[in-house]
Amino acid sequence: MSYKVLVSDPLAEEGVDILRGFCEVDVKTGLDEDEIIKIIGEYDGLLVRSGTQVTAKVIEAADKLKFIGRAGAGVDNIDLDAATKRGIIVANAPAGNTLAACEHTLAMMMSLSRNIPQATASVKKGEWKRSAFMGVELNEKVLGIVGFGRIGQELAKRANALEMKVVAYDPYINVERAKELGVEVKTLEELIPVANFITVHTPLIKETRHMINSDSISKMKDGVRIINCARGGIINEDDLYDAIVAGKVAGAALDVYEEEPPHSSKIVTLDQVITTPHLGASTVEAQQNVAVSVAKQCIEVLKGGSAKFV
Ligand code: NAD
Ligand code: MLT
């Protein structure tokens, strides 16, 4: 039996090579929904990152599809209900980019605390404004981690090394694990007013959509700094914008946005907001890990086996 797999977002060569050893592979990136609908009927497998929206319409047109692989953690760009109804197995690669996303969060927190992107831009313009970029230290500051899963826990380890005081909220927290990491477990209501830095690491689900909003921000410390390297929509961007303009929030570091790319988002225009274009998982190592993981799972499923994740 010969199979065909469509790779519709950039996937590391290591994964594509593994697939090519087993079946025919087409790499066609940047297709819109209509273009995917036109061709998806030919394929047994579909591999995506976060760019391709695997909508109910795409799945409806996918007559032969048996497997959808997400080279990454979040499967929010795949209509899971529609896939389940058609008996299509959906799998992700949740652990392959954990360290990349964790290190990116750390880099964002440090850049935010020392105004590094703004100072870089200023020097490149020929300026020398040393007093304009006064920063704050991380040492002894309270880091509030919302969502204490894979990335949240790795971040806690590294924040300990920086001698930050780490507190965490997660409704399903492993209290023993938190204790081992020296992390104080709190409710969200307890965490919000004590943290100097708040970073979110939850999935985007009904319960987490806009969990950081004008109400929660009003209860935060004055001068709090907020980081989102998880999913756009966990923080209400309009509320965050207003709080930064009002001086309540000192700054924010965003890798993800309610709309990506954030063309119509006013928050990215603020000087106090530092931004990256959804780069959390963008390391050579992470992209190899996730590509190999989904490629192997795809082959397993096409051979009649089962997938490891989701
Ligand atoms: P994970 O599943 O290991 O951890 C998520 C945690 O959130 C879990 O412990 C869960 O219990 C907790 N949670 C669920 N509902 C919650 C709620 N209402 N309040 C607080 N916590 C809640 O996931 P992870 O691998 O650590 O990834 C975290 C997030 O980062 C995901 O949204 C993922 O898609 C995203 N991510 C982004 C990038 C990027 O490129 N920026 C890269 C990797 C992962
Ligand atoms: C993920 O959920 O894994 C990230 O968003 C990374 C990606 O876009 O692949």
165-185 residue pLDDT tens? 999 999 999 999 999 999 999
Amino acid at residue number 183: V
Residues in the chain: 310
82-104 residue pLDDT tens? 999 999 999 999 999 999 999 99
Cα of first residue to Cα of last residue in the chain, in angstroms, is 26
Over residues 198-205, the mean pLDDT reads: 97
pTM exceeds cut of 0.90: yes
Ligand 2 pocket, mutate which of 7, 48, 97, 200 (most atoms under 8 A from CB): 97
Secondary structure letter of residue 47 according to DSSP = E
Beta partners for 5? 25, 45
Ligand 2 pocket, mutate which of 50, 260, 310 (most atoms under 8 A from CB): 50
Asked whether residue 1 carries a pLDDT value surpassing 80, the answer given is no
Q: Which of these, 71, 110, 103, lies nearest to 90 by C-alpha position?
A: 71
Mean pLDDT estimate for the chain:
97
229-245 residue pLDDT tens? 999 999 999 999 999 99
Indicate the angle between helix axes 98-114 and 116-124, nearest 10 degrees: 60
Provide the sign of the torsion angle of the four alpha carbons 296, 300, 302, 306, taken in this order.
negative
3-46 residue pLDDT tens? 999 999 999 999 999 999 999 999 999 999 999 999 999 999 99
Provide the sign of the torsion angle of the four alpha carbons 106, 223, 198, 235, taken in this order.
negative
Asked whether residue 139 carries a pLDDT value surpassing 90, the answer given is yes
Q: Which of these, 251, 15, 236, lies nearest to 115 by C-alpha position?
A: 251
Instruction: Based on the residue annotation, tell me whether 260 is a catalytic residue of this protein.
Output: yes
Choose the catalytic residue: 260, 263, 285, 300.
260
Asked whether residue 109 carries a pLDDT value surpassing 90, the answer given is yes
Secondary structure letter of residue 305 according to DSSP = -
Measured in angstroms, how far is the CA atom of residue 91 from the centroid of ligand 2? 13
Q: How far is CA 293 from CA 17, 22, 248, in A?
A: 12, 15, 43
Contact 173, 138 (CB under 8 A): no
For residue 306, the model assigns a pLDDT of 83
